[in-house]
Amino acid sequence: MEKFPVPEGETHIKVFLGLNFYGYRYDQAELSTKADQQQYGMKPIVGRDYIDFLRKSYPKAFIVYDPRTDEHATVVHGQSTKQQQQQQHRLPQTIIFYPSLKSIYKRLELANKLNVGVAIWDGGQGLDYFYDLL
């Protein structure tokens, strides 16, 4: 790695914390050959598709907050199969991790605490009110 001199009086290179304004959707795939393993297919989801998903999935979809990760997840349980009925807990049909005002706020607090900059990934793919915090 080459080192470039920093002109006198200027600050050093800044580290950025990346904020994604899109989410990830995990849909249940076929059961694997191992009875205790469930496979999920993953794909990105943008704001308009997330809102559409919530409209179509109401009232089965519910949003939960994980304080350990400061993230919200949308969970939908589908029809239960015999195998799932035998398990203590049914596995979700769909899980979506999508940013919320709270998760964005927590990341902005962290960036401020660490004195780092913020870079937004795919800003046009999120919900308009995400910019209210910037």
Look up residue 37 and give its two tokens: 């393993």
What's the pLDDT at 91?
77
What's the pLDDT at 87?
53
Q: Which DSSP string corresponds to 11-37? A: PPPPPEEEEESSEEEEEE----SSTT-
- Place 7 in a pLDDT band, splitting at 50, 70 and 90: low
- Domain chopping of the chain, boundaries: 16-133
Candidates 27, 33, 25, 26; CA nearest to 83 is 33
Q: What is the mean pLDDT of the chain?
A: 82
Answer yes or no: are the C-beta atoms of 117 and 93 closer than 8 Å. Answer: no
Q: How does 74-84 read in b/e, with b if 16+ C-beta sit within 10 Å?
A: bebbeeeeeeb
- At 102, the amino acid letter reads K
pLDDT 10s digits, 102-119? 999 999 999 999 888 999
Half-sphere exposure in the Cβ direction for 36 (13 Å, CA): 1
What's the pLDDT at 72?
94
Task: Supply angle C-alpha 92, 93, 95, rounded to 5.
Answer: 70
What's the pLDDT at 57?
92
Candidates 61, 58, 50, 64; CA nearest to 125 is 50
